[in-house]
Amino acid sequence: MATVLAVLLLSVLSCGKAEEKTKLMNGIVNGTVDLEPGIPILERYQQIKWFYNHTQQILKKQKGKSVHYNNEYFKNKTKLFENGTLRIVRLRKEDSSKYKIIVEDEKGLEIPIMIQLNIYAPVPKPRLNVTSLKKTKGGCSVTLKCSVSIPDVTYTWYKDDKKCSYSELNGDLVLSLTSESNIMYNCTVCNSASCNTESIYYRGDCQWQGSV
Ligand SMILES: *[C@@H]1O[C@H](CO)[C@@H](O)[C@H](O)[C@H]1NC(C)=O
Ligand SMILES: *[C@@H]1O[C@H](CO)[C@@H](O)[C@H](O)[C@H]1NC(C)=O
Ligand SMILES: *[C@@H]1O[C@H](CO)[C@@H](O)[C@H](O)[C@H]1NC(C)=O
Ligand SMILES: *[C@@H]1O[C@H](CO)[C@@H](O)[C@H](O)[C@H]1NC(C)=O
Ligand SMILES: *[C@@H]1O[C@H](CO)[C@@H](O)[C@H](O)[C@H]1NC(C)=O
Ligand SMILES: *[C@@H]1O[C@H](CO)[C@@H](O)[C@H](O)[C@H]1NC(C)=O
């Protein structure tokens, strides 16, 4: 997924001139997203059309008339606002697509605007494990393992409220504590659409306590 995103981003950057510019937007499963044209269209539009998957028409609307849907699936889960914004509710992974709005002015001139929408699973509560626990002289050496059940996430550890620069990409935090006590460690896990955090407390003397 990360590679797909990177490739997409790259193609957006490198084809920005040849194609229309594409805006990237993220949503989470079961969430709501507003796809906005990004330009004021009210004054000049005669007709607007929304598409998905490049070419498949969702709806069209002529000025002063009601919305005409071409697609039953989207009819049930979108709402078109006067300013052209398309709201999509009850998002699913499959709603990830390249959306396009075409604004037609009174001269029949068409202005296309592209939006790449990517839907992600919300990040669940991370699991924290205390491993390689070793009592040292007055202190403690330990590896805190942070994990979630979904891919394509980044891990960030916090000691009290300071970011730990020594955490690993895989969510491991290797610690050699000496005489400290009463420290809160947080692991924050994020993907492109959401984050979630779990905490664990160090009481001193190699004693760890999860958040209950
Ligand atoms: C989305 O909503 C459906 C129905 O309410 C539920 O079964 C499902 O677990 C939800 N999924 C997520 C990722 O929240
Ligand atoms: C859009 O196309 C993709 C792949 O071509 C497909 O998986 C997806 O179901 C399509 N979306 C809708 C809403 O039909
Ligand atoms: C429209 O959405 C509602 C709520 O998710 C669902 O119960 C209903 O079956 C849908 N109707 C159609 C035609 O898809
Ligand atoms: C478009 O209209 C919707 C609903 O009134 C509003 O929430 C949104 O902020 C508007 N967008 C712009 C760009 O004005
Ligand atoms: C964390 O510990 C639980 C039980 O204490 C174990 O079932 C699980 O596999 C461990 N997870 C990791 C990532 O080590
Ligand atoms: C760490 O988690 C606690 C709740 O468990 C929260 O109150 C605190 O703001 C978090 N700190 C950071 C830096 O995320």
Which residue CA neighbors atom 9 of ligand 3 most closely? 76
Mutate to test the pocket of ligand 2, among 51, 53, 93, 95 (most ligand atoms within 8 A of CB): 53
**Would you say the CB of residue 160 lies under 6 angstroms from ligand 2?**
no
- Using the structure block, give the residue that is written with the tokens 């970011």: 163
**What is the C-alpha separation between 211 and 190, in angstroms, rounded?**
20
Query: Using a 6 Å CB cutoff, which residues line ligand 3?
Result: 72, 76, 90
CATH of domain 127-210: 2.60.40.10
**What is the C-alpha separation between 115 and 81, in angstroms, rounded?**
17
Strand blocks (E) in the chain: 22-28, 33-35, 45-52, 56-62, 68-69, 78-80, 86-88, 97-105, 110-120, 127-136, 139-147, 154-159, 162-163, 172-177, 183-190, 195-204, 207-210
Q: How is domain 15-120 classified at the CATH fold level?
A: Immunoglobulin-like (2.60.40)
Task: Provide the pLDDT for residue 5.
Answer: 45
Ligand nearest to the CA of 81: 4
What predicted TM-score, i.e. pTM, was given to this entire model?
Answer: 0.74
CA 29 to ligand 1: nearest atom:
13
Residue range(s) in the chain whose domain bears CATH number 2.60.40.10:
15-120, 127-210
Task: Provide the pLDDT for residue 3.
Answer: 46
Which residue CA neighbors atom 1 of ligand 2 most closely? 53
Instruction: State the distance from the centre of ligand 5 to the C-alpha of 188, rounded, in angstroms.
Output: 18
Which residue CA neighbors atom 1 of ligand 4 most closely? 83
Please answer whether residues 55 and 7 qualify as being in contact, where contact means their C-beta atoms are separated by less than 8 angstroms: no
Instruction: State the distance from the centre of ligand 1 to the C-alpha of 120, rounded, in angstroms.
Output: 13
pLDDT along the chain (212 residues), means of 10: 45 44 92 91 85 93 94 95 94 96 89 94 95 90 95 94 86 92 95 95 92 62
